[in-house]
A and B are shown apart, each in its own frame.
Chain A
Amino acid sequence: MANNITIRVCMGTGGIASGGAEVLAAFRQEIDAAGLNAEIRENCATHQVGCRGLCARDVLVDVLVGNENVTYQFIKPDMVSRIVQEHIINRNPVAEWTVGEEYHNFHNKQVKVVLSDCGRLDPENIEDYIAEGGYEAAQKVITSWTPEKVIAEIKASGLRGRGGAGFPTGVKWELAGNNRSDAKYIICNADEGDPGAFMDRAVIEGNPHSVIEGMIIGAFAIGSKKGYVYIRAEYPLAVDRLRLAIRQAEEKGFLGKNIFGTGLDFEIAVKLGAGAFVCGEETALIASIEGQRGMPRSKPPFPVNKGLWQRPTVINNVETLANVPFIIRKGAEWFASYGTEKSKGTKVFALTGKIINTGLIEVPMGITLREIIYDIGGGIEGGKQLKAVQTGGPSGGCIPADMLDLNVDYESLAKVGSIVGSGGMIVLSEEDCMVNMAKYFIQFTQEESCGKCVPCRVGTKRLLEIMERIIGGQGKEGDMELLETLSNSVKVTSLCGLGQTAPNPVLSTLKYFRDEFEAHIIDKKCAAKVCKALITYFILEEACKGCGACLRACPAGAITGEKKKPHKIDPEICIRCGACFEVCKFRSVGRD
């Protein structure tokens, strides 16, 4: 008797970039190929699934025979025929290609709520989501609950905004719900602008229906008939899957007129962002949907009172909304059982940088950084030393390695000068220069400043100039104090969140890595060898074999020397690109 066989191929942006589509096609072709008996063929389903987190090992493939699941990693199309032959036909998994202990360690400490269905369901098939209990929560709420009961439940769960600020979601809904108006709007903020963060993209690519269901529930709670998803145009796959999911939900009668047969109407429109980081700010996002330049305005009035087209508007982040159906399905108490006193539930983080297991993780609030980096992340790449963890992107800060036992929740991170933010978590090793990182972020916010208010427009520019001077070897005594004073002024006087948080990376680096600043400013040295202007390259005569590799690699013609005799670098001509350092097989190029 044939068991039911399911093959799942990871097809998020990560999976596709690693060749997921080709792997899926190879499976379909192999299974259709002659020699496979009809019984197996009919019982064999192949589908694409969203990201399961560990993109570093893509393409990941699950082969389920009955209830037995085997996961393969690093699969290429040419490996498929052997899997089909040995595993599907002969029922012998190809042991050498299966995931090892690290894959399981990566998942063991995670608690998946928002991501629970990502990597299992076919995001392009609504039936998959419905089979897992999808849209039950929306139906229950709309047919038998009052809006007040929904709001009370969300408040009781302790859910807070996952986009950065951490405002209680239930309170936001209540404020908008209490307003009387001819129209109200609910907006899903999917303008994930933080560089180094991709949780919203993964949720929409992996399980778009959970976001739509969350919006339906939110719309019912506040009394809205029209919702928008404001999504980055840089995420084409997420946009396609979202549009498809909306269409499928409309066909099922979950969206549109008379939803769930209750006489209520609710429709969702997709608005593509045009690339402006500041549009993550609520009032700027609203301006952008209205077709204006995405510039923020001062608050109050808050969007819950006067938002889109001057009507009460609730703006929730993707991850926040994706939590909602699970809270309704499993109860506020269940949700609140995860996390800390003030930070409930789980949080998705994008774990990247110099870490072995780069990917997407979901952990209970309050977990320590040590658990994230060593237990889940598998430690630092190449056996290097951990230097710091940067959280919260350009609005956040860095946390030094000696604070690894810090709990990751809204309050604890704020206490040390960083933020949870949208959930980017970039791990930095001894090879990274903290001063350079601070400059990277201030350059980012300077470029993204909309220019409306002076402190942000001019302040970030001056901060960047000082940082560039320091990195360029022109740092002066007093620069650190100047950075501090200016940073604090920008923070307290800027109009919106962008400017108010832009100096955070500089301030937290000054706080925890002052010695690196001093080395750059006073000694003109960059210990991590990142800041070009502060590095000098030279050839160690006793080690040089005169092979000429560096001479050929040098793009500036700064290296001279006869064959088989020690070469020389002219520091005046050297552009410090490091090409010679990388190409030398005899380690005879030194740098200081």
Chain B
Amino acid sequence: MIETLKAIAGKYRNSEGNVITLLQDTQEAFGYIPKEAIEFLSKTLEIAPSRFYGVATFYIQFHLKPRGKNIITACCGTACHVKGAERLYNAVKQELNLSAGQDMTEDRQYTLEKVNCVGACSLAPVFMINKKVYGKATGEKLLREIRSNGKPQDNGK
């Protein structure tokens, strides 16, 4: 971890110390922003941790907690909203056995998230499983896709 962070810090040491880019690179490397990473970058680059946390909590892209191996994203843009995105979201949530307020399965296989708009509105409703976009999504299509990926276990191992 330290080696990766050193590389990230080195890359930006001389370029106006852009906190957003630092965090983007950190998240790219670890999938989320570990507390230790902020501590390390803060010390190395002499930037207060509060600046990192300030930025990380402001933008929705940043995650301070680990995320699942697969990311399922429900587009909740206007076009998807009027085409029933909410209902699909609930169906997927039920399939993954997620309780209210929970967005990652116990076994850390899946994280279910909402996003404002992926900009594929003419194919609404839209879902993404990892980087792949599913247009004109139906509950059946999505559940089939998720199940074929291996249904998440009720109890994580």
A joins B in a complex: yes
Q: Do the beta carbons of A424 and B78 come within 8 Å of each other?
A: yes
- How many Å lie between the Cα of A460 and that of B18 in the bound state? 31
Contact A274 to B79, CB < 8 A, known contacts A192-B119, A196-B121? no
CA distance A6 to B134 in the complex (A): 28
Closest to B118 in A: A234
Please state if A14 and B135 are interface contacts (CB–CB under 8 Å).
yes
Q: How far is the CA of A359 from the CA of B79 in the complex (A)?
A: 11
A276 contacts B by Cβ under 8 Å: yes
* A337-364 with Cβ < 8 A to chain B: 350-354, 358-360
Cβ A195 vs Cβ B59 within 8 A: no
Total A-B pairs in contact (CB under 8 Å)? 135
B120 pairs with A13, CB closer than 8 A: yes
Question: For B149, what are the chain A residues with a Cβ–Cβ distance below 8 Å?
Answer: none
Determine whether the beta carbon of B79 is less than 8 Å from that of A426.
Answer: yes
* Closest Cβ–Cβ distance, residue A320 to chain B (whole Å): 18
Instruction: Choose one: B16, B119, B124; the contact of A234 (CB below 8 Å).
Output: B119
Check A292 for interface membership: any CB of B closer than 8 A: yes
Determine how close the nearest CB of chain B comes to the CB of A392; give it in whole angstroms: 11
**Residue B76 CB within 8 A of the other chain:** yes
Contact in complex: B58, A56 (CB < 8 Å): no
Q: Does A543 contact B (CB under 8 A)?
A: no
The answer to whether A195 and B117 touch across the interface, beta carbons within 8 angstroms, is yes
- Tell me the complex Cα distance, A130–B83, Å: 41
Query: Which residues from 407 to 448 on chain A have a C-beta closer than 8 Å to any C-beta of chain B?
Result: 424, 426, 428, 432, 437, 440-441, 444, 448
Q: With the chains together, A352 CA to B120 CA distance in Å? A: 10
**Residue on B nearest A205 in the bound complex, by CB:** B119
Query: Are B82 and A426 in contact, CB atoms less than 8 angstroms apart?
Result: yes
Instruction: Determine whether the beta carbon of B17 is less than 8 Å from that of A235.
Output: no
Interface size on A, residues (CB 8 A): 56
Contact flag A14-B55 (CB < 8 Å), given A291-B19, A393-B78: no
Q: Are A440 and B115 in contact (CB under 8 A)?
A: no
A8 to B23, CA, bound (A): 39
Partner of B121, one of A193, A294, A350: A350
Q: Report yes or no: A18 in contact with B123, Cβ–Cβ below 8 A.
A: yes
Q: A196 to B78, Cβ gap below 8 A?
A: yes
Q: Tell me whether A353 and B120 are in contact (CB under 8 A).
A: no
**Residues of chain B at interface, number, CB under 8 A:** 41
B82 → chain A closest CB, angstroms: 5
A84 → B minimal CB distance (Å): 26
Residue A194 contacts which of B20, B117, B118, B123 (CB distance < 8 angstroms)? B117
In whole angstroms, how far apart are the Cα atoms of A17 and B132 in the complex? 7
Instruction: Give CA–CA (A61, B119) in the complex, Å.
Output: 22
| Residue A335 lies at the interface, judged by CB distance under 8 Å to chain B | no
Expressed in whole angstroms, the Cα–Cα distance for A260 and B60 within the complex equals 41
Q: Kindly state the separation between the CA atoms of A110 and B118 in the bound complex, as whole angstroms.
A: 25
Q: How far is the CA of A444 from the CA of B115 in the complex (A)?
A: 11
- Name which residue of chain B comes closest to A195, CB basis: B77
A286 smallest CB distance to B (angstroms): 13
Known A426-B79, A428-B82, A440-B78; contact A274-B117, beta-carbon cutoff 8 A? no
| Contact present for A14 and B122 (CB under 8 Å) | yes
A390 interface hit (Cβ, 8 Å): yes
In the bound complex, what is the Cα–Cα distance between A423 and B122 (angstroms)? 14
Bound-state Cα–Cα, A288 to B81, Å: 28
A277/B116 contact (C-beta < 8 A), A18-B135, A236-B131 known = yes
Task: Kindly state the separation between the CA atoms of A193 and B119 in the bound complex, as whole angstroms.
Answer: 9
Q: Are B120's CB and A17's CB within 8 A?
A: yes
Interface residue A555 (Cβ < 8 Å from any Cβ of B):
yes
Does A352 contact B124, Cβ atoms closer than 8 Å?
yes
The answer on a CB contact under 8 Å between A292 and B55 is: yes
Specify which of B18, B119, B135 is in contact with A235 (CB 8 Å cutoff): B119
Is A293 part of the contact surface with B, judged by Cβ < 8 Å? Answer: yes
- Residue B156 at the A interface, CB < 8 A? no
Residue of B nearest to A238 (CB): B119
B residues with a Cβ closer than 8 A to A are: 16-21, 23-24, 54-55, 58-62, 76-79, 81-83, 87, 90, 94, 115-124, 126, 131-135
Please, could you name 11 A-B residue pairs with CB atoms under 8 Å apart, sorted by A?
A13-B133, A54-B122, A58-B123, A193-B116, A195-B78, A195-B81, A276-B58, A276-B59, A292-B19, A293-B55, A450-B58
| Beyond known contacts A14-B135, A55-B123, A290-B16: 18 more, CB 8 A cutoff | A13-B118, A17-B134, A195-B78, A196-B77, A197-B121, A272-B24, A274-B55, A274-B59, A291-B20, A292-B19, A293-B54, A294-B58, A350-B121, A354-B82, A358-B122, A441-B78, A448-B116, A577-B90
Q: Footprint of B on A, CB under 8 Å?
A: 13-14, 16-18, 54-56, 58, 192-198, 201, 232-236, 271-272, 274-277, 288, 290-294, 350-354, 358-360, 390, 393, 424, 426, 428, 432, 437, 440-441, 444, 448, 450, 555, 577
